Amino acid sequence: MNVQTQIILTLTLTLFFIISWALFSFFHKESNIPHSPTLPIFSKTTTDLQLRLNMLNKSANDLSKLLGVSSQDIVLVSFKKQHFIDSSLNCPQPDTAYAQTISDGWMFVFKIVAQDGDYIYFANKDGKYVYCDEL
């Protein structure tokens, strides 16, 4: 690879990362969670992205109320797609029966600034979310 090709490749990759970060920052403003430019939150469709951000906000707001902390102190550590086999959203409670319905959604892992421990939420695309303190 010659020098000119290396320069073009480097500039192209740099531009790609700048645009990706800018898009991430734009869409992430809608959630009240401080952003991490290394955490991609892109989606195949705008509707899916809006739904994911909506469930992310609901989960973070619920955690804020649950712990009595400001939403500004809640940081999203990670998220991943989840497949749920029942209405417990992978967080069954003792002595509770759950409908055997299959749904897709996400697992969100939060941290509180200056505190130890992770806080895990599961959310599905139907708008249901649950804090899971035992995994």
User: Is the pLDDT assigned to residue 87 strictly greater than 60?
Assistant: yes
The pLDDT value recorded for residue 46 is 57
pTM of this structure: 0.64
Give the residue-averaged pLDDT of 99-128: 92
83: domain range? Answer: 3-132
**55's tokens:** 């469930």
**27's tokens:** 């869409």
Q: How many domains does the chain have?
A: 1
The pLDDT value recorded for residue 133 is 85
Residue 45: pLDDT band by 50, 70, 90 thresholds? low
